[in-house]
Amino acid sequence: MANLIFRLGVGSAYIKAPCPSRRFALRRLALAFALSLAAVAAAPAQTADKTVPQNAAELHLSFAPVVKKVRPAVVNVYASRVEQHARNPLFDDPIFRQFFGDQGEESRVAQSLGSGVIVDPSGLVVTNYHVIEGMTDVKVALSDRREFPAKVVLRDQHTDLAVLKIEASERFPVLEMGDSDAIEVGDIVLAIGNPFGVGQTVTQGIVSAQARTEAGINDYGFFIQTDAAINPGNSGGALVDLDGKVIGINSMIVSRSGGSVGIGFAIPVNMVKSVVYAAEHGGVVRRPWLGATLQDVTKDIADSIGLDRPAGALIANVAPDGPAAEAGLKHGDVITAIDGQDVDDAAGVGFRLGVKPLGGAATVTTLRDGKTVTASVKLIAAPETPPRDAIRIKSRSPFQGALVENVSPAVEEELSLENVDEGVVVAETAPDSLAANLGIQKGDVVLAINGAKIATTRDLEAAASQRPRLWDLEIERGGQVIRTRIGG
């Protein structure tokens, strides 16, 4: 059975089963042995040589001081929304309502459970975007069991991060943010969160790998992998080092069962810092724009251009007026490093640029015709030219409930569009809207409606206001043109 990637939301049952006593004893002994090794290596007053425990006292070393330091700043996040279901037409009849009352409107509450980290004394909390996605009511519970309402300050689907603000006028404990670039594979880490809603839980493991880009659920797929046990409900919780600093926000697992099998992923804290900065300065995330389309270097590509191994990001296309073109980067260049930090693929380039603030420049190292070339690329945001002119389509049509925008470099960057330079794109579809029910998707580029070319959002709004008997749609999705007919 294939492994599946699970966002760490709560919704499945689980079973508690006692371990055999002998196996349990062996596991405790092995854990105590690992703890003693870690403490010996970390203690500055001791020799750097790693030795086995010499006496019973060394087996009593504990992570408790670290946990006591960080746990007050790790919270539980409860999110919900009320969903209304279709009303039975019989209840529109006043005579029917006279006998049966107004019972036609049905509703249910959709809920989500996750974790979060307080990063500012004013009550700013970082969690995962998928924990609060589509939710309207959010509450935060502290480790001391106090609960507070919270408002969503920023939602960033690209990084799968969100920032909340606790609605209370007091100072809260915070978790200091570390440097995710400073960690190494093998470093001991602790994961803190609320798995399965059982309450705040601490697990221990190591950094299993860095720069994981193959298992992404966001547009900056660049994760810290850990074997610390994280489960549904840990989403948004902290991954901390032995200094008590957060180095990542736990986000997802790979599992066949939905429970932890020791393959978990956390968003590096250096990306979290950029999102928190945006939340503190207007609530809009603006990141540097390269102005180039990248693709991973495969073995075939590496062989064709004379590389000894498939690593780096190949520049497939350069926007004429973008920072890459201005810096002299060209089609066929292979980006190998950003500001001296190696990148293995296109996702690595996106991450290294995405964590940098606007302004100034980044040094991009490339291979061109077998030679190393460096270029200084300006760190500017993608322009909104033409203006996006966002419109929510309200008229009865296949696009009812869709939010559409004019394509610009900024919109192209936000929606991760490829090879789309102009036109109108669907930015989102409202849940349970006609557009969503008909399969209209985020990222669809609307080329034509009933034979009329759609060049702007105003064109689409006008076309959607018509009342034809048949809708003839032409849409580009993922580089493919789809033509479909829908009855009016």
Specify the residue for token string 């994280």: 230
| Active-site choice (156, 160, 227, 459) | 160
235 annotated active-site:
yes
CA distance 66 to 243: 7
3-state secondary structure the chain: CCCEEEECCCCCCCCCCCCCHHHHHHHHHHHHHHHHHHHHHHCCCCCCCCCCCCCHHHHHCCCHHHHHHHHHHEEEEEEEEEEECCCCHHHHCHHHHHHHCCCCCCEEEEEEEEEEEEEECCCEEEEEHHHHCCCCEEEEECCCCCEEEEEEEEEECCCCEEEEEECCCCCCCCCCECCCCCCCCCCEEEEEECHHHCCCEEEEEEEEEEEECCCCCCCCCCEEEECCCCCCCCCCCEEECCCCCEEEEEEEEEECCCCCCCCEEEEEHHHHHHHHHHHHCCCCCCCECCCEEEEECCHHHHHHHCCCCCCCEEEEEECCCCHHHHCCCCCCCEEEEECCEECCCHHHHHHHHHCCCCCCEEEEEEEECCEEEEEEEECCECCCCCCCCCEECCCCCCCCCEEEEECCHHHHHHCCCCCCCCCEEEEEECCCCHHHHCCCCCCCEEEEECCEECCCHHHHHHHHCCCCCEEEEEEEECCEEEEEEEEC
**Pick from 78, 113, 114, 64: which is nearest to 250 by CA?**
114
179 annotated active-site:
no
| Active-site choice (36, 112, 115, 130) | 130
**Which phi and psi (to 5°) does residue 271 adopt?**
-75, -35
144 annotated active-site:
no
CA distance 330 to 322: 12
Residue type, 375: A
Active site amino acids? 130, 160, 235
